[in-house]
Structure 1
Amino acid sequence: MIRKAFTLVPADRQRLIPLHLAATAVYGVAQAAAFVLLVPLLTALFDRRTGDAGIWLAIMAGVVAVAAVAGYLQSLLGLRLGVGMLRGVSHRLGDHLSALPLGWFTGRTTASITRTVVADVREIVEFLSHLLAVMVSGVVVPIGVGVGVMFIDWRLGVIMLVSLPVMSIVDRLAGRSYRSADDRLHASAAEVDARVLEFTTAQPVLRAFGAVGERNRALESALQQHRRASSGLIAASVPGLAAFAIVVQVVFLVLVYAVTVWATDGDLAAATAVGLIVVVSRFIDPVSQLAQVSTSTRRAAAAIDRVHELLDVPELVDSEQGVAATPIDNGICFDGVAFGYHDGVQVVREVTLEVPAGTTTAIVGPSGSGKTTLLRLAARFHPVDAGAVRIGGVDVADMALDDLMAQVSPVFQDVYLFNQTIEENIRIGRPDATADELREAARIAAVDEIVERLPDGWDTVVGERGANLSGGERQRVSIARALLKDAPIVLLDEATSALDPHNEAVVVRGLRELTRGKTVVVVAHKLSTVAHADQIAVLDDGVIVDRGTHDELSARPGRYADFVAQRDRAAGWRLTSSSAGRAESRP
């Protein structure tokens, strides 16, 4: 556990680790020595040997001074280690998360990742800055006292040293069931966090359908699960703590009983017996403190394991060939591509498709057929399971990630905006862009119209996930971001499907400018979007079942002809009023 915690300390603070451990060890040994020195000091005082008592007192004062200095240093170094780890591991986790395949995030809630990055890191900081010193002292001090007592009465020293592994074994047995209970509590807490966030952001929907208070079953279920997990953690930890506390008290009673019996039998002088009883109490104190923080220590151990598990997830790393591999153009080739998510089901199977440079290819098909997945594979959001995706003749797996991302501008239906200003959200497309370039991209995407209506203009904060803007406005900002990036390949996924006619017209104008002269792969359900594509690929159950232009595919029976017929029928439907005053739809 301690070794795994130290691996999280950044390189510039690694040199503090041996200093911290040394200071903590010296602090523990000095404490033990001060406790043991009580015996000759008390013996001298009881025997009225003031001269000897003064010498022992001076020695004890020196040892206490050493303990004070070492204690101060270990506290200071522990704090510096904790703060350094907080900075280092936070950056390390951030860099690691940004390099993971997007497929890894599938099935994981934002709340569970956040708890690992925030709550677990905080537990580790507490461990390094405070708990580690308690753990080391809880071992060093009792051993030091036991060894020191050996020089006074070897029998008592042996009992002390033998009792230490017994208490350690009991503590380990007591903590066996803690980890699984803590993992359940961690998962339930993450679920509660996710449901609370959902509850606060989805109030319009929840209120419209009366799913508030106890009727919000998802939140209520998460809270109940969290309560059960909390009870389970208590049930897993309390018996062990109680057992350990009982064993500690039994050891204390055995030691006191032994000293009393030996003093009664005359084997020990009364003064020595009194001093040894005081030392026995100091022998037990660090062990008792260790028992008091055992729950926190186990929690920190679980946190350390979870952070390491996150850091051990394989990254989507740059290929060693990435520096040398340069595409000859912006064409895209899907060559026998197969891919499936974590459940093992293949979403796309043996897909082969050529997208020549500077052309537009539309991908159509029923929901769940793998259309969006193909777009994400083109941007290497996931590594393929089989086959290859090539850009300009180069496998995207052989391209440096930065070079690949510079080639691609994705514009998806679900736009994510950061809780920053409009200008900052657009500048993400190209951080080094000039103000004029940014304003021009915003003008083409009609974001300037939005800015003019807002009281703070370009400095308007869009809110969490862009909540202060409408869906169409968020899409305009997304297009402005892609325009500013000006990548040669554009991936469009249902970019206008959820927009009203006005916003759709504005967004389509921006998309035309964005895609001018670019290689475009577009996923859409609207005929107006796909009809003018250079080629259309029909995807069904992860396989391309047909390919051609709009006229070619419409002229022959098949999936696309059925698709066109369905759209024609849907376009003819309208709502009318029946003679009974009831609204009905009819062709």
Structure 2
Amino acid sequence: MIRQLIRVLGADQIRPMRSHAIAVTIYAALQGTAFALLVPVLRALLDSDEEGAARWLGVLGAVTAATCVAYYVQAKQGFATAVSSTGALYRRFGDRLAQLSVGWFSEARLGPLTRLATAGVGEINTLFAHALQPLITSIVSPLTVLVVMLFLDWRLAAAMAATIPLLHVTYRWSTAAVARTDEVVDEAIAQANNRIFEFAQSQPVIRAFGRAQKENDWLDEAMTEQHDIGRRRLRRTTVARGAFGVTVQLSITALIAFTTMLALRGTVDAAQLIALAVLLVRFSEPVVALSEAGGALRMVRHRLNQMDEIFQTPSLPEPTAPRSPADAGIELSGVRFRYPGAPEMAETAEAPRPHSSSTGST
């Protein structure tokens, strides 16, 4: 996806994208560290160790302040990258469309192309403004907590690591289920857009032959179908995200039960039990956000595929040595005419067509 993003946005956007990703990673690591520091702070407080609690609380305050600064920096970079990439993408997209042949702009492509040029560009650039930060945070912060947990209690760290495959499988299933629905929704939106364009362009014919009511019914059917598919998408998305959220909560419940079992056996004291339980709850928050971040990433990937397909389309052939026109006349040489699916018509004769003249062929 990174290579595809570079192909679409251009190589000049590599530096701001890399800087933004590094800033988000630093913020996520600091956030995970702040979560982990809750354990020594709470343990010192529950053990009535005021001096130790004050010392650890000072460390937690410093890390929290650094986290706030890192959040501000990455958010500012994210919006700046989104603004610059939006302008770059619009310029590249417009230049690319100008290089395509007129025959490429068929009626079937009109609806998807309109949606891609309007909402699609904005959806791609939401990756930097809104999607990248929760996506990286939902991965780096829990991993930071897991690494810290290795030093606090290796048994609980092993139990946390054991939940990762289950979470991964559930996440992949939920995103795949929603992705299949998104494809159907995009197709329905494209069909509705095509119907709207066709209805608007055919108004003279529709009014001349008195078919306004029938055409209105067809347009209503397309809009109703789009609405129904959107409702089905909402239901499936809710089920998929709910399944992932339930899996996360069940995993956290199992981890807390495992920690309680260790405490009942006397291998973990009560103070450490409470501190670890708080850390586990904080561990679950960024993981739950992964579902929503994955949905945004899936949308961006879909738009990137559509945009990349346009950039991979062969452009209109251009002469190696172009010449400036002497006047507005046209000279046809070896030109053939053919309707789609029909045999070729006779080849035109090589003759100049002067400007301000009309020419017909039979």
Does 2:212 match 1:211?
Answer: yes
Q: Which residue of 2 aligns with 1:14?
A: 14
The one-letter amino acid paired with 2:222 is A
Deviation at 1:110, TM superposition (A): 2.9
TM-score by length of 2: 0.89
| 2:123/2:299 contact within 8 Å kept | yes
Rounded to whole Å, the distance in 2 between the matches of 1:287 and 1:167 is 9
> Aligned residue pairs: how many?
359
Aligned to 2:288: 288
Provide closer, same or farther for how the CA distance between residues 13 and 354 of structure 1 changes in structure 2, counting only shifts above 3 A.
Answer: same
1:316 is paired with a residue of what secondary structure?
coil
8 A contact 1:338–1:346 mirrored in 2? no
Conserved 8 A contact 1:23-1:74? yes
User: What residue number does 1:528 align with?
Assistant: none
* Superposition pairs of residues 155-554 of structure 1, within 5 angstroms: 155-197=155-197, 199=199, 209=210, 211-212=212-213, 216-319=216-319, 321-323=320-322, 331-334=331-334, 337=336, 341=340, 345-348=341-344, 351-357=346-352, 489-490=354-355, 514-515=356-357, 522-523=359-360, 537-538=361-362
Secondary structure of the 1:176 match is: helix
- Is this contact kept in 1: 2:24–2:136, CA < 8 A? yes
CA distance in 2, matches of 1:107, 1:305: 20
Question: 1:225 Cα deviation (Å)?
Answer: 2.2
**2:101, 2:315 within 8 Å by CA — same for their partners in 1?**
yes
Q: Give structure 2 stretches of 5+ with no counterpart.
A: none
Deviation by residue 1:480-528 (Cα, 9 ceiling, x = unmatched): xxxxxxxxx55xxxxxxxxxxxxxxxxxxxxxxx23xxxx6x23xxxxx
Who is 1:504 aligned against?
Answer: none
Distance in 2 between residues matched to 1:232 and 1:25, nearest whole Å: 36
CA–CA separation in structure 2 for the residues paired with 1:237 and 1:174? 8
How far does the alpha carbon of each residue in 1:438-462 deviate from its partner, in whole angstroms, 9 at most, with x for none?
xxxxxxxxxxxxxxxxxxxxxxxxx
Fraction of identical pairs, as percent: 26
Corresponding residue of 2:154: 154
Cα displacement string for residues 390-443 of structure 1 (whole angstroms, at most 9, x for unaligned residues): xxxxxxxxxxxxxxxxxxxxxxxxxxxxxxxxxxxxxxxxxxxxxxxxxxxxxx
Which protein is bigger by CA-based radius of gyration?
1
Counterpart AA for 1:352:
E
Shift of 1:302: 1.3
Write the letter of the residue equivalent to 1:313. T
Q: Which has the higher contact order (CA 8 A, sep 6+)?
A: 2
Between the aligned partners of 2:309 and 2:237, the Cα distance in structure 1 is 24
Contact 2:248 2:288 survives alignment (8 Å):
yes
Q: Give the Cα–Cα distance (whole angstroms) in 1 for the partners of residues 51 and 138 of structure 2.
A: 34
Aligned residue for 1:266, secondary structure, equals coil
Which secondary structure state, in structure 1, belongs to the residue aligned with residue 313 of structure 2?
Answer: coil
3-state secondary structure, aligned to 2:349: strand
Q: Distance in 1 between matches of 2:228 and 2:234?
A: 10
> Whole-Å Cα distance in 2 between the matches of residues 317 and 53 of structure 1?
73
Offset at 1:42?
A: 0.9
CA contact (8 A) 1:5 1:124 kept: no
User: How far did residue 200 of structure 1 move?
Assistant: 5.8
Give the superposition deviation at 1:195: 3.4
Deviation at 1:203, TM superposition (A): 6.0
Q: Which moved more, 1:144-153 or 1:4-13?
A: 4-13
Give distance in 2, aligned partners of 1:157 and 1:12.
Answer: 42
Which residue of structure 2 aligns with residue 84 of structure 1?
A: 84
Contact 1:8 1:89 in 2 (8 A): yes
SS at match of 2:347: strand
More helix by share: 2
Compared with structure 1, are the counterparts of its residues 124 and 220 closer, same or farther at alpha carbon in structure 2 (3 Å cutoff)?
Answer: same
Native 8 Å contact 1:333 1:355 kept in 2 = yes
CA distance in 1 between counterparts of 2:105 and 2:224 reads: 26
Alpha-carbon spacing, 1:56–1:6, altered in 2? closer, same or farther (3 Å): farther
**Deviation of residue 317 (structure 1)?**
3.7
The one-letter code sitting in structure 1 at the alignment partner of 2:344 is V
Contact 2:8 2:311 in 1 (8 A): no
Deviates more, 1:33-42 or 1:310-319: 310-319
Deviation at 1:178, TM superposition (A): 2.9
Cα distance change, pair 217–75 in 1 and its aligned pair in 2 (3 A): same
Counterpart code for 2:290: L
Aligned amino acid, residue 321 of structure 2: G
Letter in 2 for 1:260: T
By how many angstroms is 1:49 displaced? 1.6
Residues 73-103 of structure 1 deviation map (CA, whole Å, 9 limit, x = unaligned): 1111111111112111111111111111111
Unaligned 5+ runs, structure 1: 361-488, 491-513, 524-536, 539-587
SS at match of 2:176: coil
Letter in 2 for 1:348: E
Aligned to 2:132: 132
Change in Cα spacing, 1:13 to 1:331, as seen in structure 2 (3 Å) is closer
Alignment partners' CA distance in 2, 1:266 and 1:41: 21
Cα shift readout 1:201-249 (whole Å, capped 9, x = no counterpart):
766765672634x861221121132123213423543332222122111
Q: Residue 31 of structure 2 contacts residue 64 of structure 2 at CA under 8 Å; is this kept in 1?
A: yes
